Amino acid sequence: MNVYISATLRGFFGKNHKFEIATENIRGVLNWLTDEYPDSKKILFDEDNHLRSFIQIYVGDINKTEEIGWSDPLPANGDVYLLPAIAGGSPNKSIISDERSKAISFDDSDIERFGKHLMLRDIGVKGQKRIRAAKVVVVGAGALGSPVIQYLAAAGVGTIKVVDFDVVALDNLQNQVLHTSRDLKRPKVASARDKVKNINKSIEFQPENAKLDADNAVELIDGYDLVIDCTDNYKTRYLINDACALVGIPLVFGAIYQYEGQVGIFNLNGGPCYRCVFPSPPPAGLVPTCSEGGAISPLPGIVGSIQANEALKLIIGIGENLSGKLLTIDSLYLHSRILEVSRNHKCPICGDTPSIIKVEDFDYDDFCGLKEAEEEVPVEGFTAEEFAQKIENNDPMTIVDVREPHERAILRFPNAVVIPIGQLARRKGELNPGIDTVFLCKEGKRSVLAINTLREAGYTGPLYNLKGGIDSLKDIMFSHEGAWL
């Protein structure tokens, strides 16, 4: 079985974090550890040979600290954890060269500001100089970007470039803690600049009020040490990954949806890239983005903080990192696990025989399912104004709402038929092919998928999409209240 040693205890076990021990119970584990590492006995046990109170023993998720259970048989493949009340780190190779870090100097103010880092043996002056020398690109100044940018600034990262083309909206303020009510309608990079300067004026902040695309991706990241992906859509995520793979820059990836998050490191020292793990995205509209599906407010803080932590570990050169791994977090049920991932030798960007050698040579719209195939019948649709006029005129039509239940709970569309996309094929008989059927969702993307799904099922009646979804109707005024709200 695997026995994991918390970082605080590793100095008593030859700095090892894990042992494979052939034994049947916890008592056998403890006997093996103290026999192999006699000095560990004084940290594990007190003078009366009782386990010290600040140490807990877990088998999987079960607390087995009480001595009465130490002779019980352990389950097959049951991992054992020695967990003390305090934890720490271990050394590794930094992505910042010694030459660059040695060129950094600190004054008295820096020593006072970063005192808590300087006291940590694994960071110290050398590690803090590496942080100051680092140049990091953060793509996205929204939910994930908010904690990442602030923690990088607080840690003293010398150069921070933030790439984002959006402006601050009211619904951003729930979980994008970088911005406040005073920033409404301002570019997010401007708000981020102000926050960073308030944290540490000596940081070189580089705002890029631009949308990352195939033409500028390489230019935006070239020459930097690290890229942190804080975006919320598949198209940009693959663009960032490919640009990093081509330029040779490690990427700290993060993603959130509702209550779940993922964090990983890609393109590091021959490790896998994002497409090794996820060769292709889901069909366009099938999986909502976090803006469509929502996310609990603290979740981006949890995931973004882990991203910032991973970034700092790479910069300093300490601890274990998530290269070749994917951390998954379920904040609703408090579950997390680390999944091993491997480089795909057939990957078109980082495999043995890559077929993609330039970002601009790859059709990301087609890859992400955002482009209609030539043989597909184009999806017709109504604008918000046209749809509102049909309602005002009492035109005969069937309105089908394909949103999730939690979305409909926020805003219900009167007289709409609720049919999830997965049920359309078997429920097509509920629709009247003699009149128009209009599909709606939040942003007008999933409704396109719904129309194509119904066509494939053989439905021949007229199908229309509400362009821009329900979001496009927010400024429409109806003559009678019941038609809308």
Q: What is the pLDDT of residue 482?
A: 43
**Cβ partners under 8 Å of residue 272, min gap 6:** 266, 324, 341, 342, 343, 344, 347, 350
Q: Measured on CA atoms in the order 134, 299, 122, 196, is the torsion positive or negative? A: positive
Distance (Å, rounded) from C-alpha 412 to C-alpha 409? 6
Alpha-carbon distance of 458 to 481, in angstroms, equals 37
**Is 279 exposed, middle or buried (CB count within 10 Å of its CB: 0-12, 13-18, 19+)?**
exposed
pLDDT of residue 2: 84
Are 122 and 46 in contact, with CB atoms under 8 Å apart? no
- DSSP E strands in 373-420: the ranges are 381-382, 397-401, 417-418
Q: Which pair of tokens denotes residue 397?
A: 């039509």
Domains located in the chain, CATH noted: 2-84 (3.10.20.30), 98-367 (3.40.50.720), 381-483 (3.40.250.10)
Residue from 289, 233, 285, 295 nearest 259 by CA:
295
Three-state secondary structure call for residue 198:
helix
Rounded distance, CA 394 to CA 371, Å? 34
* Alpha-helical runs (H) found in 202-335: 217-221, 234-247, 274-277, 290-293, 298-316
Asked if residues 296 and 73 have their Cβ atoms less than 8 Å apart, the reply is no
d(CA 447, CA 444): 6
Q: What pLDDT does 462 receive? A: 93
Give strand pairing partners of 340: 325
Taking alpha carbons only, the member of 140, 120, 137 closest to residue 128 is: 120
Q: What is the model's pTM?
A: 0.67
Contact status, residue 231 vs residue 237, Cβ threshold 8 Å: yes
Quote the tokens at residue 161: 């470039």
Its sign, for the CA torsion 95, 98, 102, 107, is positive
C-beta separation of 187 from 198 below 8 A: no
Q: What per-residue confidence (pLDDT) applies to 341?
A: 83
- Which positions of the chain have pLDDT values less than 50? 86-91, 286, 374, 481-485
Other CB atoms within a 10 A radius of the CB of residue 153 amount to: 20
What's the rounded Cα separation, in Å, for the pair 7 and 318?
A: 12
d(CA 317, CA 465): 52
pLDDT score of 448: 86
Question: What pLDDT score does 483 carry?
Answer: 43
Q: Which residue has the tokens 């779940």?
A: 260
- pLDDT confidence of residue 485: 40
Residues in the chain: 485
Dihedrals phi, psi of 103, to nearest 5 degrees: -80, -5
Instruction: Sheet containing 62-63: give its strands across.
Output: 18-20, 2-5, 80-84, 55-59, 62-63
Q: Give the separation between CA 392 and CA 397, rounded to whole angstroms.
A: 12
Burial profile 364-390: b = 16 or more Cβ within 10 angstroms, e = fewer: beebbbbeeeeeeeebebbebeebbeb
For residues 485 and 473, give the distance between their C-alpha atoms in angstroms, rounded to a whole number: 11
- DSSP annotation of 425: T
∠ at Cα 50 (48, 54), nearest 5°? 125
Cα 90 to Cα 8: distance, rounded to the nearest angstrom: 10
